[in-house]
Structure 1
Amino acid sequence: MSFYYHRLGTDGDAQLFASTDHTRSNWTPEIQHGSPPLALLTKAIEEILSDGMRIGRLTLDILGAIPVTEVRVRARVDRPGSRIAMLSAEMSAERPDGPPRAVARVSAWALATSDTADAATNRYPPLVEGPTAPLELHWKDAGGYIDSVQWRPQYNKSAGATVYWMRAGANLVDDEPTTALQRLAMVVDSANGIGAAIDPQKFIYMNTDTAVHVHRQPAGNDFAVRARGSIGPDGIGVTTAELFDRDGFIGTSAQTLLVQRR
């Protein structure tokens, strides 16, 4: 079995992890892809989440290049509450010329669950996986994180957007249990590449964040991302996506893009 991180122990209130080659980004192998840090910080938040609460929104902010090295993770409750609470987790990494610096932060809104099954609605019908089309990602040979995911692009666009079914092929931390929300986080940052609206051979379009809203608890290991990008005239873009598991629509994601010519 392969892993994104190995647990190294603790240092005070920080959990220590070693980043593996499977975290390496498609942009450059010296930094991590956004999905493994999002999943690891989500795990840290879920570990301190009160019973009877569920995460409704996750927002990853990438504070700098996340190196493929030992990282430190701290989680905290920012706004306690029995019905609504905000929690966050921060990842920091050593740097050769100074003290550790924060490289990623995830904030989460957690809400108290109750029985609303009689009022449940979905604004999109379920996606049914069809035959797998040839993989056309520009970075399909980049190795690292790309090799850790099972990519299953679909032949036809849906609602004008590109659809990929995905499954992470590596466990998050050693052989520790991984929740369905963490498994979704392990692939959702890829929406930017899937929904690319611009030629990656001519432009760089790196996301600064990933915001995920889930109205239903994800289930299983396979997730579909229906993504599309929009590029503004002044170097800023946005990728939005609808997210699905085998049971249907589970939520949305959005990412802010820095767009620059190569």
Structure 2
Amino acid sequence: MTETTGHGAGYFERVGARRFAPTSHAGGAWAADEQHFSPLAGLVVHEIERTRASEGRPALPMGRIGFDILGRIAFEEFDIHVETVRPGRTIELVRATVVIAGRAVVSAQAWFLADLDTAVVAGGEPDRLPDPESASRWSMGSVWPGGYVASLDTRQVGTPSAGRATAWASTSVDLVVGERAGNLASFLALVDTANGVGVRQDPTEWMFPNLDLTIHLYRQPEGGWTGLDTTVTFGSTGQGLTSTILHDVHGPVGCAQQILTVRPLPVAAVQTS
């Protein structure tokens, strides 16, 4: 159920039943006239949860969500369409599509799984991260531009190196003005930040945007802070991979993968940056 927060600031404003307008906080890092994908991913989850609740679907935890970025996410109003592809009492598949000016720009598919007591066989997870309060404050704005990056409170754990970093991210900005998102949507709204915390090359000389984001969860995260234990790998033929172990303040919850298209910026763009 959507609730009023009263904070006033949000990444998006709801301007219709399924239609939204980005605010300045949603500004992208690669181009000023684009939206950052991270808060949009959280909004998609928010809309999936709202739709499932309004339809009386079973209250199942999300085990996986995969996003495909189909094109440029312009800084314009957009619609989100949600449909249940595979209904079920213990397993369910839901699809969501983000549409700008009649064109699909993001497609997402989410699997919901049965909530069962498997504590007796639980195990195998990595070590938890140090608490965010013990980590060093770090301004991502020193590396990246854009309203989304400026909205974050980021803390570094340890000393980063090229393609390897661990950080906590949080924000005081709501997903939607006047609405309270759930823990899952709030947590996942920060996951795409991973591709910006462990940079392998200077983003003023190289581009490495992700074409997708796939998240697997073995525990439902709690909101507040999203922990990103991230490794970035560049191949030799234009592809890269950002791999992240995801944490909340209680420990690891799952992992995320992002495929990257790696390319040098044009010389003219580098000279004027």
Q: What percentage of residue pairs aligned between the two structures are identical? A: 31
> What is the aligned partner in structure 1 of residue 271 from structure 2?
none
**What per-residue deviation string (whole Å, max 9, x for no partner) do you get for residues 65-110 of structure 1?**
111111111100011122211101111112xxxxx11111111011
> What is the aligned partner in structure 2 of residue 57 from structure 1?
64
Deviation at 1:133, TM superposition (A): 4.8
> What is the aligned partner in structure 2 of residue 203 from structure 1?
206
Is residue 89 of structure 2 the alignment partner of residue 85 of structure 1? no
Q: Report if the CA contact (8 A) 1:139-1:146 is conserved.
A: no
- Describe the shift of the 1:224–1:192 C-alpha distance in structure 2 as closer, same or farther (beyond 3 A): same
Deviation at 1:134, TM superposition (A): 4.1
Larger CA deviation: 206-215 vs 127-136:
127-136
> What is the aligned partner in structure 2 of residue 259 from structure 1?
262
Deviation at 1:112, TM superposition (A): 1.3
Counterparts of 1:34-113 in structure 2 under 5 Å?
34-49=37-52, 50-94=57-101, 100-113=102-115
- Describe the shift of the 1:51–1:81 C-alpha distance in structure 2 as closer, same or farther (beyond 3 A): closer
- Describe the shift of the 1:245–1:23 C-alpha distance in structure 2 as closer, same or farther (beyond 3 A): same
2:235 counterpart (225, 232, 237): 232
> How far apart, in 2, do the equivalents of 1:40 and 1:135 lie?
24
Q: Report if the CA contact (8 A) 1:4-1:21 is conserved.
A: yes
Q: Report if the CA contact (8 A) 1:73-1:92 is conserved.
A: yes
Q: State the TM-score, normalizing by the size of structure 1.
A: 0.90
Q: State the TM-score, normalizing by the size of structure 2.
A: 0.87
Greater strand share, structure number = 1
> What is the aligned partner in structure 2 of residue 132 from structure 1?
136
Residue aligned with 1:254, SS: strand
> How far apart, in 2, do the equivalents of 1:143 and 1:157 lie?
22
> What is the aligned partner in structure 1 of residue 224 from structure 2?
221
RMSD: 1.8
Gaps of 5+ in 2: 1-6, 266-273
Larger CA deviation: 83-92 vs 47-56:
47-56
Q: Report if the CA contact (8 A) 1:18-1:70 is conserved.
A: yes
**What per-residue deviation string (whole Å, max 9, x for no partner) do you get for residues 142-189 of structure 1?**
13111111111223359x931111102210111212111111221100
> What is the aligned partner in structure 1 of residue 125 from structure 2?
123
Read off the aligned partner of 2:89 and give its amino acid letter.
S
- Describe the shift of the 1:37–1:220 C-alpha distance in structure 2 as closer, same or farther (beyond 3 A): closer
Read off the aligned partner of 2:212 and give its amino acid letter.
D
Give the total of aligned pairs. 251
Q: Report if the CA contact (8 A) 1:138-1:200 is conserved.
A: no
- Describe the shift of the 1:6–1:135 C-alpha distance in structure 2 as closer, same or farther (beyond 3 A): closer
> How far apart, in 2, do the equivalents of 1:207 and 1:163 lie?
19
Residue aligned with 1:176, SS: coil
Q: Report if the CA contact (8 A) 1:41-1:105 is conserved.
A: no
> How far apart, in 1, do the equivalents of 2:216 and 2:152 lie?
22
Q: Report if the CA contact (8 A) 2:58-2:89 is conserved.
A: no
